[in-house]
Structure formats: structure tokens, C-alpha cells
Amino acid sequence: MNSEYHIQLNRLKESFDSANEISVAADAIQKCIPCGELNILDVGIGEGKAAIQLIGRLSRMGYAPRLTGIDIYVPPSLYEKSTHNIKLCEIDFASYPLTEKFDVVVATQSLYYLGSPELALRKLASHTRREGILLVTMWSNRCELYQLHERFCADPDRRKVAVQHAARMLREIDNYATVEVVTTVGKVDFTYWQESEETCLSAFRVLARAESADDPDLSEYAKFRELITVLPLCGKRENGTIISWWDRKRGGNCISPMR
């Protein structure tokens, strides 16, 4: 794990008000699921900041949440926060057993790391109970971070993975599922990207969604390095949260599991 990458990733997260997305998730859960026990799966929990804020919000709303957080790497600091209602699993999502289903399945800025977006969405859906809810948060295609990613870092075979495209994939998986997208808008601070060559390269790797130094294609890095010297100090950051649930009125099932 590269420490500078995670420093830049955390600073990027801090530049955007994640509380907006937590409110979106909590409100969606409240509309779909009555108060009571609530089993939550967080895929790509990372350091757990957003997950812990969400279960805190849900507890204050009258729910009794139990969280299972999975990630290919779980930092020691998160294990220290683990309590009786938080279970952590260090595992690749593709290997996570399909036998478990949850009331709420959350994937916040993690779909990029889960391989094929369509297969990952099917697997996320397969872990969602029939009357549960699936919440997937991603960059919008109007987000400057996404636009920089597409310009400099995108794999030609995996382009267009923004929230609008993921929502379309979900609708095509099963037209009985209700799929909505709620956007949250804020700003991103570009100034720290210019602090040093190391911070610039780490920012490039964050945009490329690549934790290993060997992962990103550096062929466009020189152009990226030149561009950020003339970027405005603040840019537009826009995320979208996909909210998907079983449509009772239409009599359909929850999104079809992997076939």
C-alpha cells in the first residue's frame, strides 16, 4: 500500500462534504425500510469514516444497524473502531460468498476497483434482500475529476464508468427495479496537487484509480503535469448516488443476481 497515494486520496475526500451523501443514503433508507434491525454491507469500506457516520445517523433515526464492511485491505485504525455491531472482512469482493443477503448494500466510490462494472453491479444486487435497497455512489460525468480521468487516465476498454452509465446498466439488468440518481455538488481543492512532484504523481494515480505504482499508464502524465499548473484553484466536484430497490407496484423482483 502506498502511503502517499492514501494521503492524497484522503485529502481528496476531505475536499468534498461527504455529509451530503450520508444524508442522501439515510433518507433513501428511511423511505424504503421501516425502523428496526438493519443489516448493512459496505463494499470497499476503506477507512470507514463514511460508514461509521452513516450507522451513527441511522441509530439516531431509530434503527439498530449492524454493519459488515469488506475491503481487500482494512487499515488497522478501522479495526480499533470495530464494535459488536461492526464486522470487518479483509477479502476481495469477487470472493465474498453469495449466501449472505442484506437490507442495505452500499458501495461508495468503490465500483471502479471491482472489475467489470456490470458484473460487480449484479453481484452487489445479489447481496441485496428482496425488499432491501442498493446504494452506489460514483463520480458524475459532470465532475471535473471524472473529466480529468477520462482525458488522461481512462483505459480505452473501460471508459464511461460514471454514475449515469452505471445507473443505465442497472436499469438494463432488470427493468422491474426502480433506479434513481441523486446528485451532490461541491468543490475540490486543486492547490495541493502542485505542492511537489510526489503529490502530483499521487493525484494522477488517484484519478487513475490505481493504488500500485505500476498500475497507471504514465504516457499522459507529462501533459497532466503541465495542465494542473494552470488549473483554477477550485474545481467542481459532483457525485451521484444510485438508489435502487424492488418495485412492489410493478410486482417485480429485486435486481436479478449474477447469471
What pLDDT is stored for residue 160 in this prediction? 65
Measured CA distances, 92 to 97, 142, 214, 239 (Å): 10, 30, 20, 25
Enter the DSSP assignment of 109: S
What pLDDT is stored for residue 226 in this prediction? 87
The rounded distance, in Å, linking the Cα atoms of 66 and 13 is: 25
- Name beta bridge partners: 40: 67, 104
What pLDDT is stored for residue 8 in this prediction? 65
What pLDDT is stored for residue 3 in this prediction? 58
Give the residue, 196 or 182, on which the prediction is more confident: 182
pLDDT digits (tens, 9 = 90+) for 206-251: 787 765 445 667 778 888 888 888 878 788 889 999 999 876 554 4
Locate all alpha helices (DSSP H) within the chain, ordered by sequence: 3-14, 19-32, 49-60, 76-81, 117-126, 144-152, 163-173, 197-208, 221-228
What pLDDT is stored for residue 253 in this prediction? 40
Q: Which of 31-40, 141-150, 244-253 is predicted least confidently?
A: 244-253
Q: If we measure between CA atoms, which residue out of 225, 240, 217 comes closest to residue 146?
A: 240
pLDDT digits (tens, 9 = 90+) for 185-214: 888 878 877 788 887 887 888 787 765 445
Are 178 and 244 a contacting pair, CB within 8 Å?
yes
Backbone angles phi, psi at 59, to 5 degrees: -60, -40
| Mean pLDDT for the chain overall | 83
Q: If we measure between CA atoms, which residue out of 81, 96, 19 comes closest to residue 46?
A: 81
For the entire predicted model, the pTM comes to 0.85
How far from each other are the two terminal CA atoms of the chain, in whole angstroms? Answer: 34
What pLDDT is stored for residue 37 in this prediction? 96
pLDDT digits (tens, 9 = 90+) for 76-131: 778 776 676 899 999 999 999 988 899 999 999 999 888 889 999 999 999 999 88
Q: If we measure between CA atoms, which residue out of 114, 106, 138, 128 comes closest to residue 25?
A: 106
In the chain, the domains with their CATH numbers are 3-140+157-186+234-246 (3.40.50.150)
